Structure 1
Amino acid sequence: MVNRRSLPAVPLAVAAVLSLSACGGGGEKSAEDDRIAGADGGGSTSAAPGPSASPEVKRPAIKLPKDMKNVFEGGGTGDPVVEAVLRDSEGRINSLDEAIHTRSLERPAFGFYNTGDAARGAAVWVQGFYDDKITWTGTVRYYDRKVTVEGKKKDKATLSYCADESKAFNKELKSGKVSDAVDGSGDSLVFYHTRLVKNDKGVWQTTDVYSKRGTSPCQ
């Protein structure tokens, strides 16, 4: 299973890190266990799948190394609002991984897609990779993504999904050593429940994140 670093149990206030270039103000909460634009962070990189929702707003370009892959299943619902939520959520996930790869929380995409508690919790999580002098390598699969659009203006939404981290591992920056697989496949699955708000520029920013590792909804 995955031996990737987990999100903190409780997000801490790290306001100093949140002077980020954002498209709006203001969540990442985690019940238990449990990753910005075109910068070179060492090693070859490839463009991450870019969100294309709200074409009037230009999304920041995000680059991830070739050995750091996120695979998003689902989509193609035919509902433009749901598709926009999914695409900006993908941008958010990629922005966290770019922050890990580039060793910078000040990349454009981080503040573009994250706000409030989600931004604070994500900053704590990413900082942990910096402190431990690690990154991650492999593939994370995101699946069973379910969107519920809320509000009269359809400007709020909840998104739940599962992440399979069984093919993603910690990697030491100095030695390049990759962590060994760990027994217990259930611990490689993480359930997420997130809240998003559409800001005045048409971007679906994630405001809150709840996550739990090894839970039955993902098995």
Structure 2
Amino acid sequence: MTPRHLTAAAALAACAAILLSGCGGSDDGKTKDGDEIAGAQREGSASPSASTSDGAERPKITLPKDDVLVFEGGKTGDAKKDAVLADNEQRLRAIDAAIIKGDPDFEPVQFYSTGDAATTATKSIQSYLDDGLSVTGIVRFFDREVAFRGDGSARLTYCSDETKGFAKERKTGKVLKTEADKDSYVFYDTRLDRNKQGVWQTSGVTSKRGADECRP
């Protein structure tokens, strides 16, 4: 199977840490083609974390109807953990938006990224453009877990299910559909650091495609 994020996203995951932990995906959140997905962001909808209690002015990010990111788990009840999850969600949405817009310098990506993660994200987005590709379909993020380190940083782990997410040719609009296999599931281990404005920026990422803990 050719992953939705292809080699570009694989590189991004390896260096920019897209969140995930303890996976083992269930069928919850999956849909048949055309079914509505709970929690999915639709075209024109405001970013869930566009405004937060920390006062930081977060950019609004919208995705087209054919690109859906589903974040399972909801709120933890811990405000600090919920803030980490929310800012990570926006980073992932910003990366997809940048690929679709064809803008490797899309400001929201840098807003939610720092250090190696920021550099790698830009390179990843550019790789899509160089290959004449965009993204489409549904990607599900699940088993998201947050823990805090003694230095104040956050560790976010999570799984992604790319069985319904695909690359798409920019010129023709052709969706490059492939059969799902073990590599459709990815485990991410990420680091986030809170900046002076109160935004949890992703600073590092490692990933493992085909991880046992993420496969159903």
TM-score normalised by L of structure 2: 0.80
AA aligned to 1:218 is: C
TM alignment of 1:11-30, pairs within 5 A: 28=16
- Cα deviation, 1:56-93, whole Å, max 9, x if unaligned, reads 11110001111011000013211000000000000110
Worse-superposed segment, 129-138 or 52-61: 52-61
Seen in structure 2, the aligned counterparts of structure 1 residues 48 and 3 have a Cα distance that, compared at 3 Å, is farther
Name 1:91's counterpart in structure 2: 90
Identity of aligned residues (%): 44
TM alignment of 1:49-64, pairs within 5 A: 49-51=47-49, 52-64=51-63
TM alignment of 1:90-169, pairs within 5 A: 90-151=89-150, 155-169=152-166
1:176 lines up with 2:164 in the alignment? no
How many residue pairs end up in the alignment?
188
Structure 2: where are the runs of 5+ without partners?
Answer: 19-41
Higher-RCO chain (CA-CA 8 Å, sequence separation at least 6):
2
1:191 lines up with 2:190 in the alignment? no
Seen in structure 2, the aligned counterparts of structure 1 residues 88 and 29 have a Cα distance that, compared at 3 Å, is closer
- RMSD of aligned C-alpha atoms? 2.2
Q: Secondary structure at the match of 1:202?
A: coil
Shift of the alpha carbon at 1:125? 1.3
Seen in structure 2, the aligned counterparts of structure 1 residues 82 and 126 have a Cα distance that, compared at 3 Å, is same
Name 2:213's counterpart in structure 1: 217
Q: Runs ≥4 in structure 1, deviation > 3 angstroms?
A: 7-11, 52-55
Asked if the contact 1:91–1:113 (Cα under 8 Å) also holds between the matched residues in 2, the reply is yes
The separation in 2 between residues aligned to 1:158 and 1:118, in whole angstroms, is: 14
Q: Secondary structure at the match of 1:65?
A: coil
Seen in structure 2, the aligned counterparts of structure 1 residues 195 and 213 have a Cα distance that, compared at 3 Å, is same
Structure 1: where are the runs of 5+ without partners?
Answer: 12-26, 31-43
Shift of the alpha carbon at 1:55? 4.0
Shift of the alpha carbon at 1:2? 6.1
The separation in 1 between residues aligned to 2:108 and 2:195, in whole angstroms, is: 15
The separation in 2 between residues aligned to 1:47 and 1:209, in whole angstroms, is: 28
